[in-house]
Amino acid sequence: MTEITLDREQAQVDMTAIVKVTKVLLMVLALTFSVFMLKWIVVDKLDKYTPTESSQITTAMRERQLGCLSKNIYYEAGNESFEGKVAVAQVTMNRVNSKQFPDDICKTIYQRNIFYEKVICQFSWTCDRDSGSRPPNNANYRESEEVAKKVLLEEFRLPGLKEAMYYHADYINPGWKREKITKIGHHIFYK
């Protein structure tokens, strides 16, 4: 009877060892699987993944930008040639891409500064309260929208205006000490 009891005790010890070995093997297998999955995620998936940034443009944001740029082109150069409209749009985009101005199209267009207690608008039409309510010339506004799309979405640019940051109408003389780049239509462009 003692032998049978010892065999049972030995069997329990053997069974306990088998259970422990099985648990260890399962943990090793689970760890190996986890490492494999992690490698699959990191190497195979993340390499192909483009992270979504908080500054990613949504459809609504893009439509807002196009609207602001279209209005700016229309009110600044609505009667100008296609090239004149592109030039105004390009100056706007040059400013947006510069550290000197807001990095948002609408904020750049509507930016106001105060000099000697006088409000100065970056684009004169934004200070004119009637500009927003006047009905646009439909043909000129549609062309302004097309130019805005070409400049903003297709990155269409005039090579000679890469550094243009400022312009004014040719019938005024602001007395700027800036370097003149060129004249297009009724606007003179500066660095």
Domain ranges of the chain: 2-42, 66-158
Taking the C-alpha atoms of residue 74 and residue 138, their distance in angstroms, rounded to an integer, is: 10
What average pLDDT does range 97-115 have in this prediction?
Answer: 91
pLDDT at residue 131 tops 80: no
Taking the C-alpha atoms of residue 135 and residue 122, their distance in angstroms, rounded to an integer, is: 22
DSSP string, 48-63: GPPPPPTTPPPHHHHH
Which of 53-67, 114-128, 137-151: highest mean pLDDT? 137-151
Grade residue 23 by pLDDT with cuts at 50, 70 and 90: confident
What average pLDDT does range 129-134 have in this prediction?
Answer: 60
pLDDT at res. 22: 78
Which of 63, 64, 82, 85 lies closest to 74, judged by CA? 85
Torsions phi, psi for 130 (to 5 deg): -80, -20
Contacts of 120 (CB under 8 A, 6+ apart): 112, 113, 114
> Which residues does residue 189 pair with via DSSP β-bridges, in sequence order?
167, 182
Please report the sign of the dihedral spanned by the C-alpha atoms of residue 165, residue 92, residue 89, residue 159.
positive
> CATH top-level class for 66-158?
mainly alpha
Mean pLDDT over the full length of the chain: 83
Q: What is the end-to-end Cα distance of the chain in Å, rounded?
A: 106
Q: What is the pTM of this model?
A: 0.68
Helix 138-153, helix 82-96: angle, nearest 10 = 50
What average pLDDT does range 1-14 have in this prediction?
Answer: 62
Taking the C-alpha atoms of residue 141 and residue 35, their distance in angstroms, rounded to an integer, is: 59
pLDDT at res. 45: 44
